[in-house]
Amino acid sequence: MPLSNLFQPIRRRIAASPRAPLALALALAASLASPTDGRAAGTMTVQSTSVDDAKEVLATVESVRTPQARTRIGGTLTAVNVVEGDAVKKGDVVAVVEDTKLKLQLTAAEARIGALLAKLDLIQTEYERVKQLRSTGAAPQSRLDDAETQMTVTKAEIAAARADKSVIEEQVIEGKVLAPDDGRVLKVSAVAGQVTMPGEPVATLATANYILKLRVPERHARFMHEGDEVLIAGRGLDRDTATRMTKGKIVRVYPELDQGRVVADAEAAAIGDYFVGETVSTFVSTGKRQTIVVPADAIVHREGLTFVRLKGVGEVPVQTGPKQIAADGVSPGVEILTGLKAGDEVVLP
């Protein structure tokens, strides 16, 4: 209906008034000043924009590395201090291995050192006595030289005994199984009371740095590049968070196909508390396409239909597509598949 026809009833009502010309002018001005929905609102001109042709890919959370905490000596596992899921820091004691023979060897080394120290005291006493006799000429020089040699040899024996003790003490310290890096315990493969050999794993860790392992169909291989952005839609395949997606970045694209799929690693700051092996819905770009995107708050839902308000026209039905980012690069937007064309003026709330 032409816009002029909207004002015919107004003209007829005002025509009977003695002040018809003035009243008609005021009524027309008031009608033109207000939008069709009766609210003060801004507008935006619809423009075609280029967006990423995003494809949904299921990715799994994996650890960059999965080092193992291993025993360094053989013996009996007397304590296991962690369980699956525990967070550990590098150097934390994961378990303790004891070898009873080391305690006996340590006791023997301490006794040997004590005996050598007592022997050194006697030799030093004898050396001082011979030294005095030599000063008076009552003892030959050879006797003084023998005493000095015995003292030197005994001191060397004490040093060797102390070195042997240090080796044994270090072996006792090595009974502590340490966490090789920061992370979380994925698996504990030993129990207290178990006899272990050197090098046996006690626990497997997932380092603190997690990645997303993506497997994309081969036809999209040419679009995958290091540095490309990916969007993470939330935990537990939660697609309702699409407007609040977390951004990530592809850091590695593997050169070999795995069962017809391109394998890539992506990093994101928001996956540090995820479970290793958890499935996450992600979106990757497989090219560019032209489309129309309007702000999400410009969409009106009523009786199962979707509408957009156009300036001077009113509400028009539209078909919406995937959620996108609005033209400002920050606000949530919605792709319009049908119902709008470039140049239309959309009324914003």
Q: Same domain for 270 and 338?
A: yes
Q: 277 and 242 in one domain? A: yes
51 and 329 Cβ atoms separated by less than 8 Å: no
Q: Tell me what pLDDT residue 238 has.
A: 53
Give the number of residues written for the chain: 349
121-157 pLDDT per residue, tens: 999 999 899 988 888 888 888 888 998 999 999 999 9
Q: What is the rounded distance in angstroms from the CA atom of residue 124 to the CA atom of residue 117? A: 10
Which residue bears the tokens 């009833």? 9
Per-residue burial over 225-254, b = 16 or more CB atoms within 10 Å of its CB, e = otherwise: eeebebbbbbbeeeeeebeebbebebeebe
Tokens standing for 131? 């030294």
| Verdict on whether the full-model pTM lies above 0.75 | no
Residue 77 within a domain: yes
Q: How far apart are CA 327 and CA 48, in angstroms?
A: 10
Residue 263 lies in a domain: yes
DSSP 119-152: HHHHHHHHHHHHHHHHHHTSS-HHHHHHHHHHHH
The residue among 125, 159, 174 that closes a domain is 174
> Can you give the CATH number for the domain in which 282 is found?
2.40.30.170
Task: Say whether both 261 and 272 belong to one domain.
Answer: yes
Contact 69, 177 (CB under 8 A): yes
Q: Yes or no: say if 201 and 68 are a contact pair by the CB < 8 Å rule.
A: yes
Nearest residue to 121 (alpha-carbon basis) of 129, 111, 132: 129
Q: 305-310 and 299-302 as β-strands: parallel, antiparallel, unpaired? A: antiparallel
* Residue 22 pLDDT: 40
**pLDDT of res. 184:** 87
Instruction: Quote the number of domains for the chain.
Output: 4
| Of 164, 165, 177, nearest in space to 75 by CA | 177
> What is the distance in angstroms between the CA of the first residue and the CA of the last residue of the chain?
25
pLDDT at 197: 93
> 258: which DSSP letter?
B
Q: Is 176 helix (H, G, I), strand (E, B) or coil?
A: strand
pLDDT of residue 138: 83
> From its phi and psi, is residue 329 left (phi > 0), alpha (psi between -120 and 50) or beta?
left
pLDDT, residue 245, reads 66
**Could you tell me if 258 and 136 lie in one domain?**
no
Q: What is the pLDDT of residue 26?
A: 37
DSSP string of 15-70, one letter each residue: HTSTTHHHHHHHHHHHHHHS-TTSS--EEEE--EEEEEEEEEEEEEEEES---EEE
Residue 37 in any domain: the answer is no
Torsion, Cα 192 193 194 198, to 10 degrees, reads: 80
- CA nearest to 53, candidates 219, 231, 243, 287: 287
Q: What is the pLDDT of residue 285?
A: 79
Question: Tell me, what CATH number does 198's domain have?
Answer: 2.40.50.100
In a shared domain, residues 12 and 92: no
Whether residues 213 and 309 share a domain: the answer is yes
CA-wise closest residue to 295 among 270, 324, 255, 260: 324
The pLDDT tens digits along the chain (349 residues) read 444 443 444 444 444 444 444 443 433 333 433 333 333 458 888 888 887 777 788 888 888 888 999 999 999 999 999 999 888 999 999 999 999 899 899 999 999 999 999 999 999 999 899 988 888 888 888 888 998 999 999 999 999 999 999 999 998 999 999 999 888 898 999 999 999 999 999 999 988 778 889 988 888 778 888 888 888 876 654 555 444 567 888 989 998 888 888 899 998 877 877 888 888 888 887 778 888 888 888 889 888 899 999 988 889 999 888 777 776 666 778 888 888 888 888 888 7
Q: Is residue 11 part of a domain?
A: yes
Are 274 and 289 in a shared domain? yes
Residue 91: which domain range? 70-97+179-205
Q: Same domain, yes or no, for 218 and 200?
A: no
